[in-house]
Amino acid sequence: MRSTIAPEKVQKMIAEARVIQRDEVPPGVAMAQWALAWCLKNPLVTSVIPGCKDPNQTRFNAAAAELVL
């Protein structure tokens, strides 16, 4: 996917993600879990389909519903 996006745009998106991680994601919380929690709690998001490769990821994703943002 990255190869279809201009390199400068990719760098901008990575920089934006770092700012979100630094300023929004609580210490001790994985960014992926925080992002899933954000999607679950955002009324503008109509559906969330998280990927899971194993039972641990399923539990990790389910715990996102309990995060307080």
The answer to whether 26 and 32 have CB atoms below 8 angstroms apart is no
Q: Does 28 map to a domain?
A: yes
Q: Does 69 map to a domain?
A: no
Query: What pLDDT, on the 0 to 100 scale, is given for residue 1?
Result: 64
Q: Note the helical H segments in the chain.
A: 7-23, 31-41, 55-64
For residues 1 and 64, the model is more confident at: 64
Q: Is the pLDDT of residue 68 over 90?
A: no
Q: Which domain holds residue 31?
A: 2-64
Q: How many domains does the chain have?
A: 1
Mean pLDDT (whole number) for 37-64: 93
Mean pLDDT (whole number) for 10-27: 95
Q: Does 60 map to a domain?
A: yes
